[in-house]
């Protein structure tokens, strides 16, 4: 689906922010190799989902045990704020995965793996408090 000019600008800014977060995290978080994002721009930034990828499942477990997940989330949140994107619940928006799990469950097809977890929120969904 083609993005509108406004949404393309937002996506470009998100890409810049995530690139900066990725580059700094490569040196700070053991096992981290790359990240990607997806969003439904009719419900942005609530629909923003960021997936941080490690080589192995063991590296994901070790990263969480050392509370490096917070380092990654804070780095991502800080960079997004720099481009004007405010994510209300960064824990809900940032997920962790591994190349090993993708290979095991989806034959290494990241497009298939990420398509399974696309946020399907309606833009005007009722909120329950």
pTM: 0.86
The 3-class SS string of the chain reads CCCCHHHHHHHHHHHHHHHHHHHHHHHHCCCEEEEEEECCHHHCCCCCEEEEEECCHHHHHHHHHCCHHHHHHHHHHHHHHHCCCCCCCHHHHEEEEEHHHHHHHHCCCHHHHHHCCCCCCCCCCCCCC
pLDDT, tens only, 35-65: 999 999 889 999 999 999 999 999 999 999 9
Question: How much is the average pLDDT of 103-120?
Answer: 81
Indicate whether 115 pLDDT > 60: yes
pLDDT > 90 fraction of the chain, expressed in percent and rounded: 80
pLDDT, tens only, 91-101: 999 999 999 99
Indicate whether 121 pLDDT > 70: no
Q: What is the mean pLDDT of the chain?
A: 89
pLDDT > 70 fraction of the chain, expressed in percent and rounded: 88
Indicate whether 123 pLDDT > 80: no
């Amino acid at each position: 689906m083609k993005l509108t000019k406004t949404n393309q600008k937002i996506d470009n800014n998100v890409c810049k922010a995530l690139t900066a977060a990725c580059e700094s995290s490569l040196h700070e978080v053991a096992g981290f190799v790359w990240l990607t994002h997806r969003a439904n721009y009719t419900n942005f930034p609530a629909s923003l989902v960021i997936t941080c990828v490690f080589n192995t499942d063991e590296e994901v477990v070790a990263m969480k045990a050392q509370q490096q997940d917070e380092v990654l989330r804070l780095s991502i949140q800080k960079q997004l704020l720099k481009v004007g994107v405010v994510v209300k619940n960064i824990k809900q928006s940032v997920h962790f995965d591994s190349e090993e799990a993708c290979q095991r469950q989806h034959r290494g097809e990241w497009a298939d793996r990420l398509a399974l977890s696309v946020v399907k929120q309606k833009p005007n969904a009722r909120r329950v408090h």
